[in-house]
Amino acid sequence: MEAHLIPTYLRRDALPHFFCPGCGAAQVMNYFVRAAQNMSLDFDRLVGVGGVGCAARIPVYLNIDALHGIHGRTLAWATGMKLHNPDLKVVVFAGDGDAAAIGGNHLIHAARRNVDVTMIVVNNLTFGMTGGQVAPMTPGGLRTMTTPTGNAEPPFDLCRLAAAAGATFVSRWSTATPRQGIRALEKALRHKGFSLVEFVVQCPTNFGRRAIGTGDPVQCLEWIESHSAIRQQGPDGRLDDSGDARFVLGDFMARESPIFEGTSRSPSEGRSE
């Protein structure tokens, strides 16, 4: 990240960050800052929410008001903040365990209600902070600390789940697709209604060493890239997720909600640097 971005977007007193070398969560933080810069997002009217896990540390480093609390309850807090002050831009930073395990029920209902909140899910395919246990989106057959003979359970497809529940903008990218990921964040932050952007990211410390046999961040990233496929939306507006790719990338849902139809952009956008 360029040095000139740090004073504007990051808290100097919170640095250096605690992310492991090569951690994908740090890359997602970088992508968020670049998206914020591109759209002149007003950090004075932005609130970040983080629960528990590696990704939940992201709002701690951003130069914004933030709430850092318990596991899985991020969307409950975000909903309350948005209802109390609709002019705020509320962004949730969650891991795959935070979003799909203990927080899964909150995700479904936030999408169903189409709450005007953005959720960024950093999917490192494991419970990375607590030692590398199997998580709801760990691919089948892969080893973790708690599945030494391979994961026997099918993983959630969080994007399809959110879209089916009623989210009006849903997108998935990886740390191997930074430009598309940054553009997806910009779309989500401009969107009126519940938006979710999932990033499939490398976790060399836990997932990489156990599941794919390497703790090298570059090799972990290459593994994600080799198991990913970018799909296009078909004539019915749905993403073509056919094929055998483990990680289907693209915009799963992008439609305007009747609740917010014709509304202007959020007042949190537009700060000039």
* Structure tokens given for 178: 């930074």
d(CA 68, CA 59): 8
Please give the average per-residue pLDDT across 186-190, as a whole number. 97
For β-strands 169-174 and 247-254, DSSP reports them as: antiparallel
* CA–CA separation, 250 and 212 (whole Å): 24
Q: How far apart are CA 194 and CA 89, in angstroms?
A: 12
Alpha-carbon span 29 to 162, nearest angstrom: 22
* Residue range 190-215, pLDDT digits in tens: 999 999 999 999 999 888 888 889 99
pLDDT in tens, 240-270: 665 566 899 999 999 887 666 555 444 445 4
Domains belonging to the chain, first-starting first, are 27-226 (3.40.50.970)
Averaged pLDDT, 34-61 = 92
Lowest mean pLDDT among 71-80, 161-170, 174-183, 198-207: 71-80
Q: How far is CA 24 from CA 19, 44, 54, 198, in A?
A: 9, 26, 10, 12
Q: Model confidence over 13-42: pLDDT tens digits? A: 888 888 999 999 999 999 999 999 999 999
Give residue 146's pLDDT: 83
Burial of 126 (0-12, 13-18, 19+ CB in 10 A): buried
Integer Cα distance of 132 and 124 in angstroms: 10
Q: Tens of pLDDT along 217-240?
A: 999 999 999 999 987 666 555 666
Using a 10 angstrom Cβ sphere, with 0-12 exposed, 13-18 middle and 19 or more buried, the burial of residue 73 is middle
Q: Retrieve residue 218's tokens.
A: 């570059």
